[in-house]
Structure 1
Amino acid sequence: MRPITRRAIIGFALVCLALLALGALPSFLGAGEPYYLTATPTDADGEAVNVTGLSERRYPYLTSAIESASGRSDPYRRGPFGLKESFAHSPFDERDGLVARNPDARRDGGVLVEDGDDRYLVAVSRG
């Protein structure tokens, strides 16, 4: 094998390993207080985002918050240097996704959503 071909293959392998590490690394970078997506039952009127048919793969924090007895999702911890937010899905992404679906559903404390006949005020809370 020619030296230039060997270097190219080694360089390609290192880039692949670095990308794999960046994909796995965010879960190990969690630091600080946890953030939760909370779903508080409410009787508020007005525009709401219909979340009845949303995929739990796309909205795992929202789904776990609505289904849990406490109304809180699994914890999410931010990364120490801002790296984790670039590579990992967060409750902040889900909140922003809900607002993008219906900007009129935004409230002071979060986003108004409806799941079937139930209405929730969904917000990101700390600790």
Structure 2
Amino acid sequence: MRPITRKFAYGLLALVVVLLALGALPSLLGSGDPYHLTAEPTAAEGPAYNLTAEGTDDLTRRRFQFFFSAVDAPDGRSKPYREGSIGIKESFTHSPFDEMESFRSFAPQNATVDDSVFVEFDGQRYRVQVVQAGEGD
């Protein structure tokens, strides 16, 4: 191989390694208390985001992984999510904040109250919100 071709190949290999590291690294970064998406069953009437209409296929479960984690959990809290300390992680990872933004964007008018959104799934209504766990949780 010619020297310039070898340098280009090494540079390309280094770029691929860096991009792979950037894909894996954000999930390892995290600081502060974890955030959870909570899904509390409620009897409140009114408009709600209808998640049942989307179905429960694998794509929907991956799109709303924090919501389904909260619904399946006995305490109604999703798996924890820690924000990145310098703001890079949020660009590369899926977060409960992303799910809340989706619910808010597509929910009917008046389905949001303060920091929460009403979501209907399989005939059950949930009040969904993101909470930050305190010390000792």
Tell me the TM-score normalized by structure 1. Answer: 0.94
Query: Aligned residue pairs: how many?
Result: 127
* Equivalent position SS for 1:33: strand
Q: Which runs of 5+ in 1 are unaligned?
A: none
* Contact preservation (8 Å) 1:109, 1:121: no
Over the aligned positions, Cα root-mean-square deviation in angstroms equals 1.2
* Equivalent position SS for 2:10: helix
Q: Deviations over 1:4-33 (max 9, x none)?
A: 111111111111101100010011111110
* Equivalent position SS for 1:82: coil
- 2-side partners of 1:77 and 1:113: how far apart? 24
* Contact preservation (8 Å) 1:36, 1:76: yes
Instruction: List 4+ stretches of structure 1 deviating above 3 A.
Output: none
Higher mean C-alpha deviation, range 97-106 or range 78-87:
97-106
Partner amino acid, structure 2, of 1:39: A
Query: How far apart are 1:109 and its partner, in Å?
Result: 3.1
- 1-side partners of 2:66 and 2:107: how far apart? 18
Aligned position for 1:122: 128
Q: Which runs of 5+ in 2 are unaligned?
A: none
Q: Does 1:84 align with 2:89?
A: yes
Aligned position for 2:113: 107
Mapping for residues 31-110 of structure 1, pairs under 5 Å: 31-52=31-52, 53-54=55-56, 55-104=60-109, 105-110=111-116
